[in-house]
Amino acid sequence: MRILIVEDEPKVASFIRRALEEESYAVDVCTDGQQGRDIACAVNYDLIILDLMLPNLPGLEVLKGIRSEKVKTPILILTARSEVNQRVKGLDAGADDYLTKPFAIEELLARARALLRRASGETTGMLQIEDLILNPITHEVTRGGQRIELTSKEYALLEYMMRNTGRVLTRPMISEHVWDLDFDTFTNVIDVYISYLRNKIDKGRDRNLIHTVRGSGYTIKAIDG
């Protein structure tokens, strides 16, 4: 899952980024409103965290700009506690949720999870395919009751795939949602991580869940194989 932070205060942006990265999200930071709007429209993010007090372009304008480009990505706005009016305007302009500064890190992460869950149509919060279960809150992955240890990137890749169960995911789609802007698209990193995942999830099992779609990419689903 890939998240964009638009926040002009570098230290605020920095700790939000580190917190999200610890949760295996791919994170990009933008400190300027105008740039933030452009990048939000160009890249297919899963969530945007937007500070409403920004230089050059006010946050509200960024929000309207993003929505006018038909970008449906969930947006979480950060506002000042005293400004009720701003929150109302923000929500009316297309934001999905808000947090007032100063906020608790755990709340930010919980709201991010909630927005991602709603966007993928989940209701319980648990992702499951046959006996493979992923808990986005604890990051615990089990198959047939057996715990599977994953690295942060492997977890991020599996979560993205499980949120899109049955869909064919191309390599550009995967790179867009699991890796951040520093990702070099000309490497075979995705194929390497897919093989890591296969080793941990499908190897030695009766039924494979991760499938290669020749010429397109990969998919995760429950079929005989």
Q: Which is nearer to other proteins, 26 or 220 (CB)?
A: 26
Q: How far is the CB of 194 from other proteins (least distance, A)?
A: 28
> On the CB side of 193, how many CA atoms lie within 13 Å of its CA?
23
d(CA 51, CA 44): 19
Part of the chain binding other proteins (CB under 8 A), chosen from 9-17, 38-46, 128-136, 141-149 = 9-17
Interface mask toward other proteins for 33-72; x: CB under 8 A:
--------------------x-xx----------------
* Number of amino acids touching other proteins (CB under 8 A): 22
Tokens read off for 66: 């993003």
Tokens read off for 82: 């005293």
Site membership for other proteins, residue 21 (CB under 8 A)? no
Quickly list DSSP for 77-138: EEEETT-HHHHHHHHHTT--EEEEES--HHHHHHHHHHHHHHHHT-SSS-EEETTEEEETTT
* Bridge partners of residue 217, in order along the sequence: 170, 213
Interface pick for other proteins out of 2, 3, 5, 19 (rule CB under 8 A): 19
Q: Which is nearer to other proteins, 82 or 146 (CB)?
A: 82
Binding positions for other proteins, rule: CB under 8 A: 8-9, 11-12, 15-16, 18-19, 22, 31, 53, 55-56, 80-82, 101-106
